[in-house]
Structure 1
Amino acid sequence: MTPVSSTREPNTGLLRLYRESGWTQRQFAQEINRLGTERGTPLKYRSPSVHQWLGGHVPREDVRPLILEAFARRLGHPVTHAEAGFPPPGGATGRRPATEGITDLGRQDMDPSRRGVLGASLFSVALTVPNWPDVAGRMEAVQTGHTQRVGMSDVDMVTAMTEQISALYAEFGGRHSRPMAAAFLVNTVTPYLKARAPEPVRKSMMSAASDLCYLAGHMAVDEGLHGLAQQYYVKALEVAGASEDHLTYCTTLRGMSVQAVDLGHGREALRLADAAAAAAPEAGPRMRAFLAGQQAHAAAQTGDRTSALSHLRVAEAALDKAESRERKFVCSYRLPALRYHTGQVLYALGDVRGSTTELAESDKHRNPSAHRTRVRYLSLLAERQLEIGHLETACATWRQVLDIYPKVQSGQCDQSVTRMLGRIRPYQKTPAARALYERARTAVPLTGRA
């Protein structure tokens, strides 16, 4: 590929990073191509391109973030444009008000013509996550719009709507509920943020907006839009800090950890989970359990058995002390979630059989109307039942999945059912597996069919 421009001297910054990575030029090119595919923009770079970059040619602007992300994942720390010897990214400007950023993000998400661009944004382990002291209490001045003065009744309405959207998402998935959230964010919530209001009301409205941003990020994860999810999550952190809402700030960090651990980025997941716990020193028992359970999962993925089991014990003890009511929908950690985390920890530590027991118990205690969650976690249970050789039991669990699946519109559920088809295909000589396979073929998305 033809480079955009060149310099007279080798790129010493890029050379240093390349040598530190231990890659060959071929491996470097392959990693860039892999990240391009992950982003939705397949690339075909080879060793000669890497040789040119190291020699001073500047890669295309849209490829530079992939190079930085590749080094960040390889080296375990963020890498900046300057460190790699690249010019600053085009259009870089000063920090804009958080409310303005919410409007822009929501409008892009509402626009069908932008969906492909948003979907192609890359999950980044090098994402800059604002610390609590950097955002706490920083309520930027915004220009008052034409919306009339708002009060606590408007805050209550936003909170109630967010909880309703969250309930729809839990039951049916994010494919239809996320556009609803984006439209509500743009058309109702951001005008409220610009309206005249007493300071306590305004802070409460900012807190409600941060909850909605967090929920939108969670729903973007459900659709596999991981770069978009990170944008929503960072905005939720900023607005939660501005309103001094510790609960949503910590919950969002935890959500980012869940996203990272599910994508296999254990170290980043643990960093985020630990940051969430550290930022919640006065959390109640349910919140402590909520945060410790995720710390356990992330620690187990990094292979730290001692820390993982210790965090699980903390989560279990805290949940025993929790009261029956939560303050907000964002922290509803209960026994099914704890059993799920226990199952994930055991699996990461090599106890597949113990993991299946915990996941089965988790489903027994789960709300039967939480269709999206049940499809995902029952699918996980069936995969692990098959892994320990319990084919008939796995088929029975997958039949439950197929009973629920038509009720949801969810990217993660689509992936779960598509995986089912691949896992069960080799076992078609068994009647239960053959019947399941034939049923699944008509259920999975067209792109996942054999």
Structure 2
Amino acid sequence: MARERNERLAALLVEARWSRAQAAAAYNRVAVETLNGEVRENSKVGRSHVSMWVGGTEPTGVAPAILCQALSRRLKREITPQEAGFAASTSPAQGALDWRVDPLIALNDLESGVNTDRRGVLTSGVYSAAALLLPDETWWEAMSRRPAEEPSVGKRVGHGDVEMVRELTLAFSRMDQRRGGGHGRRAVDEYLKHDAHDFLRGRFANDATRRAMFSASAELAYVSGWMAFDNSEHAVALQRFNTAVKLAARAGDEPLSGHILRAMAHQALDLGFRREALQIAETSVHGERYAAATPRERALLGVVHARTLAANGRKQQAARALVRAEDDLSNANDGIREPDRTFFFGEASLAHETACTLRDLGDQQRAVKEFRRSVRTRGAAFRRTHAVTLGYMGAAQIAQGGVEEACATWTNVLDAMEDGIYSGRARQTVVDMRKLLSPYRKRGIPAMGALDARAASYLAQVD
């Protein structure tokens, strides 16, 4: 009996504008990232595999999950195996993403860190809108209550232990800003799995120490999530953010909960889940999450809220949110002790997020101006974000017809990337650069030809 052509998969490939070879290349990139060197059935495929799947052959092994992950990234929405015409099923909100699951269980399930967690993508599904639904207020209230019984066994945990977790968190966060999320997350996950998990199960000197340790561990889980997000490991990032929110809720730390929710909203927005991003951002600035935060953190929460408003077409509300974020940052001063997690957010970061908001509102000219301000005011310690900002600025410049100007900007992106930045987000700006340059390839622009060749060489080396 002749196989029936998989019209659903064929339509998705057309929507993605992928040839069979391009689909196979994207598949292999995701497989390398997800499997981390483990050889499994269909851990690497060629164009003939994609042709067979379109022709009606049912993919086996890891293929359904990997292909759907690749398509989801390309199309900026969740693609399930069913939508792709496959028989396999996923349950994207299961396991650690269930808000009822104890965060200590989620930490324990990290296993050996990044390797196992990447493979977990294959069983827990792709990044999904279903997993972005937040619990109601009764959940937050229940989580923040002091436990009825304190542990009678386990190591005694004091203030010095809390400080140790905080120092480690800040060190990895600074490294992420310099080198990107693709460097060092294994160490973060190993510490979460073992040391932090043992602390959280220990005997605390008092309830204040218990809450402080849960807050410190939540920040470390958040940093792991942010690093995964920056390295385009989106399902992993969502799991870490979910765990971090649970730990922060256990601590009763509302500003920290808002900080983590802000990151979740940022990720959802980047992946095209605009409505869900707005809902999460609104939760991040609700009640004490915003009111109890320091001025710098309020500005950070507020500017991401502005971005989600802009992405959902709420122009006036977005403009008001931007003004409020600017006012909040102007109120930050040396006399106010800000949490360490806000160390990266200043004028340059505000300008970057403001530029993204203006870009999404269609104001490319003002967006370029704000991107320039971000580049001009950012310190050398923030090289990863600097590369991302330059990538976005080049895209805004070429949208205004400034091809040579964009080429000059993108040359600086490659300078930064080739100097040791490991970031999926920064790498994506290089991919986008080549797409945006494509219509101009036959115009004989010298700067463009050299840049395109250099970008192609770079991507060939890192893919």
In the alignment, which residue of structure 2 is the partner of 1:234?
Answer: 242
SS at match of 2:183: helix
Separation (CA, whole Å) in 1 of partners of 2:362 and 2:65: 40
| Superposition pairs of residues 62-211 of structure 1, within 5 angstroms | 95-105=100-110, 107=111, 109-110=113-114, 112=115, 114-118=117-121, 121-127=125-131, 128-131=133-136, 133-135=138-140, 136-138=143-145, 146-147=154-155, 149-198=156-205, 199-211=207-219
The alignment status of 1:286 with 2:296, answered yes or no, reads yes
Q: Deviations over 1:115-155 (max 9, x none)?
A: 233377311222232345413424556866653x2210111
Mark the CA change 1:398 to 1:28 in structure 2 (over 3 Å): closer, same or farther.
Answer: closer
SS at match of 1:154: helix
Q: Deviations over 1:55-89 (max 9, x none)?
A: xxxxxx999x99xx9xxx89xxxxxxxxxxx99x9
Separation (CA, whole Å) in 2 of partners of 1:326 and 1:28: 54
> Contact 2:118–2:236 at 8 Å: present in 1 too?
no
| CA displacement at 1:194 relative to structure 2 | 1.5
> Contact 1:97–1:142 at 8 Å: present in 2 too?
no
| Superposition pairs of residues 175-324 of structure 1, within 5 angstroms | 175-198=182-205, 199-279=207-287, 280=289, 281-324=291-334
In the alignment, which residue of structure 2 is the partner of 1:415?
Answer: 428
Separation (CA, whole Å) in 1 of partners of 2:168 and 2:294: 25
Separation (CA, whole Å) in 2 of partners of 1:137 and 1:223: 32
List gaps (5 residues or longer) in structure 1: 1-24, 50-60, 75-85
| CA displacement at 1:400 relative to structure 2 | 1.0
Separation (CA, whole Å) in 1 of partners of 2:139 and 2:116: 35
Instruction: Provide the aligned C-alpha RMSD in A.
Output: 3.7
Matching residue's letter, 2:121: L
In the alignment, which residue of structure 1 is the partner of 2:445?
Answer: 430
Matching residue's letter, 1:442: S
The alignment status of 1:439 with 2:447, answered yes or no, reads no
Matching residue's letter, 2:341: V
Separation (CA, whole Å) in 1 of partners of 2:94 and 2:261: 28
Q: Deviations over 1:284-336 (max 9, x none)?
A: 32222111111110010011111110111111111111224653233343211
| CA displacement at 1:424 relative to structure 2 | 2.9
> Contact 1:356–1:384 at 8 Å: present in 2 too?
yes
Matching residue's letter, 2:119: G
| CA displacement at 1:34 relative to structure 2 | 9.0
> Contact 1:151–1:201 at 8 Å: present in 2 too?
yes
SS at match of 1:174: coil
Mark the CA change 1:119 to 1:299 in structure 2 (over 3 Å): closer, same or farther.
Answer: farther
List gaps (5 residues or longer) in structure 2: 1-5, 17-22, 32-41, 43-49, 59-63, 79-89
TM-score (norm 1): 0.77
> Contact 1:155–1:205 at 8 Å: present in 2 too?
yes
Matching residue's letter, 1:299: L
| CA displacement at 1:188 relative to structure 2 | 1.3
SS at match of 2:243: helix
Aligned residues: 392
Matching residue's letter, 2:388: R
Separation (CA, whole Å) in 2 of partners of 1:311 and 1:90: 34
> Contact 1:109–1:118 at 8 Å: present in 2 too?
no
TM-score (norm 2): 0.75
In the alignment, which residue of structure 1 is the partner of 2:61?
Answer: none
Matching residue's letter, 1:278: H
> Contact 1:129–1:234 at 8 Å: present in 2 too?
no
The alignment status of 1:335 with 2:355, answered yes or no, reads no
